[in-house]
Structure 1
Amino acid sequence: MRVRCRRIIHPAADIPVPEYDGIRVGGVYPVLELVAYDIDCQIRVLGADTPDPGLLWDPADFETVDARIPPDWTLVIADGHTRLADARWQRPGFWTAYHQGDPQALADYEHVKRELLAANPPHET
């Protein structure tokens, strides 16, 4: 799945900006996951210069350019969240373990990221 950035609202200044943390208006980026919390939805997008593990964005600021879902993705509904992502990221506590430096979580993140970027590299306009 790939999306094109239509606009960026700077999170601290609440004003439109042409780029932020490796994401640029007009750029096309792979989606690493989709997360919905109650009525809020976000997509994790990784640009060429975006720090790991990518940033969560409002999907209203993007448009789909490739709707194909990667074959290893699963949909999980639990604890008030709906998450569409690679199955290796769906285990309970994955992101907590990742941020705590757990070697298996870091390895799983890197492996999935490499696969997604190889199939859908980001590109700027």
Structure 2
Amino acid sequence: MIVRCLEIIHPDGDYPVAEFDGIRVGGVYPVLEMVTDDDHCYIRVLGPDSPDPGLEWDPVSFETVDTRIPPGWTLAIAGGRTRLADARWQRPGFWTDYYRGDPQARADYDHVKSELLAAAPPREN
């Protein structure tokens, strides 16, 4: 799934900016995952200069330019959340392990990220 950024509202305030942490208005980016719950929805987007593991954004700021769901993605519903992401990221505690530096979680993240970037069309940045 590929999206184009339509707007960026700075996370520390309620004002628009042209770019933030490697994401810029008009840029085209791969979606790494989508998560919804009762209160919100976000997509994890990775820009060329974004820090790993990408940034979480409100999808209202993006439009879809490629609707294909990457191979290996699954839909998981647990704990009131719905996640659409690669199956390797769906295991309980994946993100906790990633942020704690767990070697397997880091390797799974890097592998999925490489696959998504290789499959994405050239960016229109």
| Length-normalised TM-score, structure 1 | 0.97
SS, match of residue 108 in structure 2: helix
The equivalent of 2:83 in structure 1 is 83
| SS, match of residue 101 in structure 2 | coil
Going from structure 1 to structure 2, the CA distance change for 1:122 and 1:39 (only over 3 Å counts) comes to farther
CA contact under 8 A between 1:30 and 1:122: conserved in structure 2?
Answer: no
Deviation for aligned residue 1:13: 2.4
Give the secondary structure class of the aligned counterpart of 1:63.
strand
- SS at structure 2 position matched to 1:97: helix
1:20-59 → structure 2 map (5 Å cutoff): 20-59=20-59
Could you tell me which runs of 5 or more consecutive residues in structure 2 were left unpaired when the two chains were aligned. Answer: none
Quote the Cα distance in structure 1 between the aligned partners of 2:121 and 2:67. Answer: 15
Distance 2:97 2:108 in 1: 11
Question: Paired residue for 1:11?
Answer: 11
Alpha-carbon distance in structure 2 between the residues aligned to 1:29 and 1:39 = 25
How far the C-alpha of 1:42 sits from its partner, in A, is 0.2
Do residues 110 (structure 1) and 110 (structure 2) align? yes
* Aligned-pair identity (%): 74
Residue equivalent to 2:96:
96
Q: Which moves more between the two structures, 107-116 or 33-42?
A: 33-42
- For residues 120 and 68 of structure 1, do their structure 2 counterparts lie closer, same or farther at Cα, with a shift above 3 Å needed? same
CA distance in 2, matches of 1:121, 1:100: 32
Equivalent position of 2:70 in the other structure: 70
Q: How many residues are paired up?
A: 125
CA shift, 1:99, in A, is 0.2
TM superposition shift of 1:124: 3.8
Call closer, same or farther: CA 1:54–1:122 in 2, change over 3 Å: farther
Q: Which runs of 5+ in 1 are unaligned?
A: none
CA gap 1:122/1:105 in 2 versus in 1, 3 angstroms: farther
Q: Please give the alpha-carbon distance, in whole angstroms, between the structure 2 residues aligned to 1:83 and 1:33.
A: 7
CA contact (8 A) 1:72 1:86 kept: yes
- Residue 56 of structure 1 aligns to which amino acid in structure 2? E
